[in-house]
Amino acid sequence: MRCVPLVLISLIVHLAHAERVSGPDGKVYTYKEIDGIKRELEVYFPERHDLSSDPVPAIIFFHGGGWGGGTRDAFKYQCDYFASRGLVAVTVTYRLAAKQAREEARKGNFSRKRVCIPDAKSAIRWVKQNAEEFGVDPNRLVAAGGSAGGHISLIATSNPGLNDPNDPKDIDTSVAAKVLFNPALSSIDAADPEIDFIRHLKPGAPPAIVFFGSEDKKWLEGWNPTYEKWKRLEGTEIKMEIAEGEKHAFFNSQPWADLTLISADKFLSELGFLKGDPTLLNPETGEMLVLAED
How confident is the model over 53-107, as pLDDT tens digits? 899 999 999 999 999 999 999 999 999 999 999 999 999 999 999 865 555 555 5
How confident is the model over 167-207, as pLDDT tens digits? 999 999 999 999 999 999 999 999 999 999 999 999 999 99
Q: Give 94 or 20, the one with higher predicted confidence.
A: 94
CATH fold of 27-291: Rossmann fold (3.40.50)
What is residue 8's predicted lDDT score, i.e. its pLDDT?
A: 35
15 pLDDT tier (thresholds 50, 70, 90): very low
Report the C-alpha dihedral over residues 20, 207, 120, 77, rounded to 10 degrees. Answer: 20
Interval 250-267 mean pLDDT: 98
C-beta of residue 108 within 8 angstroms of C-beta of residue 191 = yes
Give the domain ranges of the chain. 27-291
Contacts of 190 (CB under 8 A, 6+ apart): 196
109 pLDDT tier (thresholds 50, 70, 90): very low
CA dist 128 and 210 (Å) reads 24
Output phi, psi for 141, to 5 deg. -95, 145
How confident is the model over 123-161, as pLDDT tens digits? 999 999 999 999 999 999 999 999 999 999 999 999 999
